Amino acid sequence: MEKRVMKIFSVILGGIMVLCAVLLVGIEDIHSKSEVLAKEMHDAKQYKETIANRMQDEIANAEELKSFADKGQIRIAIPSGVNTEKIQFNEDVMTRFYQIVIPNAGENYFDSNPIMGSVGNIDDFSAYTDDGAAFFEITLNGIYDTKTTVENGFLYLDFRNPHDVYDSVIVIDAGHGGRDVGAVEGNVYEKNIDLDIVKQLKAIIDADPSMKAYYTRLGDTNPSLEERVKLANDVNADVFLSVHNNSLSGFDARKTSGTQVLYYANDATQLSERFATICLDTLCAQLESTNRGLVNGNDIYIIHNSKSPVALVEIGFLSNPDDLKKLQDSGYQRRCAQALYDSVKEMINSFKE
Ligand SMILES: [Zn+2]
């Protein structure tokens, strides 16, 4: 009997030991599982924090982007060590091209310095580095007055409506250019005299902070007639002034001198006629030039396509020896420019009356 009890007891004991072993293994398993779980929970918490931080960053970025977009602004980081005065800004209003060149920016500049801001004023843009300089090139979707501000290591670009910045916005067109030389007298080309006068006019306008002028050309280029009048229409110019000089051929050519101004006779507002009259009277008075009157310019492309009050001045005759001599003189060209500036000013003042 005792022997049997012992046997049963040992069997039970053996069973308990097996059970303990199983339990121990199980506890070990649970323990390692709980460690994994704790690590997973820790990872999840970190992940949650990362996501939360990223979301905050994204919200901050979105808010920053929105503020750029609202302002129509672009922001470019300036690399440390770059002299901001060495940054170049190049603009061509005829092609609406705007370029910024940052010297010594480094080859990988744009990888680590993304450009932020609004694309509301932009048709196209490209950013690249060449020979260590960073180039940022924009094709604008209109004519803007571009303001640049350097602040806290960033360059900010603002594209503003010129009419919001200046009292008056005008377009000046120097006639002809490039292969189109205009009237010719000996070795004198009209295109050069037209441009010389416009450059003198630019110097006068540049000294007037209330007036902004855009020029169809300031070099020996030949924009198409469509491009010239498009500039005036796109910028909604207060006046559009085209500067030319005349020439005659034939028996009496040398005897004919003086000033003519072409205008848009079909203009229902009669603003073109008013502007042309002011130009004619002012030029004749200040240059003591013979008044040859207003001329109906309805057939001239830039005249009948202009949405702005337009005048095309023919200041003098290259075919007249006196006019030719005067028109080549820079002092006389300066007087022509002054008369044109005064005409524009008088026309603009007449809008306010
Ligand atoms: Zn001409």
109-167 tens-digit pLDDT: 888 887 888 778 888 889 999 998 999 999 999 999 999 998 888 999 999 999 999 99
Place of tokens 């006779």: 265
Q: Is the pLDDT of residue 297 over 80?
A: yes
At 45-66, the pLDDT tens digits run: 888 888 888 877 777 666 766 6
Q: How remote is the CA of residue 261 from the centroid of ligand 1, in Å? A: 12
Q: How remote is the CA of residue 330 from the centroid of ligand 1, in Å? A: 19
Integer Cα distance of 243 and 15 in angstroms:
115
Integer Cα distance of 149 and 253 in angstroms:
56
Q: How remote is the CA of residue 319 from the centroid of ligand 1, in Å? A: 13
- Give pTM, 2 decimals: 0.79
Backbone angle region of 152, left / alpha / beta, with phi > 0 → left and psi within -120 to 50 → alpha: left
Q: Is the pLDDT of residue 285 over 90?
A: yes
Q: What is the pLDDT of residue 220?
A: 98
Mean pLDDT of 13-17: 53
Q: How remote is the CA of residue 194 from the centroid of ligand 1, in Å? A: 8
Q: What is the pLDDT of residue 82?
A: 85
At 200-221, the pLDDT tens digits run: 999 999 999 999 999 999 999 9
On the CB side of 132, CA atoms within 13 Å amount to: 3
Q: What tokens appear for 196 in the block?
A: 């010389």
Q: How remote is the CA of residue 254 from the centroid of ligand 1, in Å? A: 18
CATH of 164-352, one of 3.20.20.210, 3.30.420.80, 3.40.630.40, 3.10.290.10: 3.40.630.40
Query: In the sheet where 154-160 sits, what is the strand order?
Result: 116-117, 73-77, 154-160, 145-151
Q: How remote is the CA of residue 246 from the centroid of ligand 1, in Å? A: 6
CA distances from 201 to 35, 173, 204, 218, 342 (A): 83, 11, 5, 11, 10
Q: How remote is the CA of residue 224 from the centroid of ligand 1, in Å? A: 14
Q: What tokens appear for 242 in the block?
A: 């085209």
Integer Cα distance of 97 and 34 in angstroms:
65
All residues at 6 or more sequence positions from 106 whose CB lies less than 8 Å from its CB, including other chains: 79, 129, 132, 134
All residues at 6 or more sequence positions from 212 whose CB lies less than 8 Å from its CB, including other chains: 145, 162, 165, 166, 168, 169, 170
Mean pLDDT of 16-25: 52
**Every domain of the chain and the residues it spans:** 74-160, 164-352
H or E element, residue 148: strand 145-151
Q: How remote is the CA of residue 314 from the centroid of ligand 1, in Å? A: 7
Instruction: Give backbone dihedrals phi and psi of 117, rounded to 5 degrees, phi first.
Output: 140, -165
Integer Cα distance of 173 and 195 in angstroms:
9
More confident residue, 85 or 315: 315
Q: Is the pLDDT of residue 28 over 80?
A: no
At 167-208, the pLDDT tens digits run: 999 999 999 999 999 999 999 999 999 999 999 999 999 999
Q: DSSP assignment of 43-76, as one string?
A: HHHHHHHHHHHHHHHHHHHHHHHHHHHHHTEEEE
Place of tokens 């101004």: 261
Q: Is the pLDDT of residue 67 over 70?
A: no
At 1-10, the pLDDT tens digits run: 555 555 555 5
What whole-number percentage of the chain has pLDDT above 70?
A: 88
Q: What are the residue ranges of helices labelled H in 106-177?
A: 109-112, 162-165
Q: How remote is the CA of residue 148 from the centroid of ligand 1, in Å? A: 37
Integer Cα distance of 104 and 246 in angstroms:
50
Q: Across the chain, what does the average pLDDT equal? A: 89
CA nearest neighbour of 261 among 273, 252, 247: 273
Q: What is the pLDDT of residue 191?
A: 98
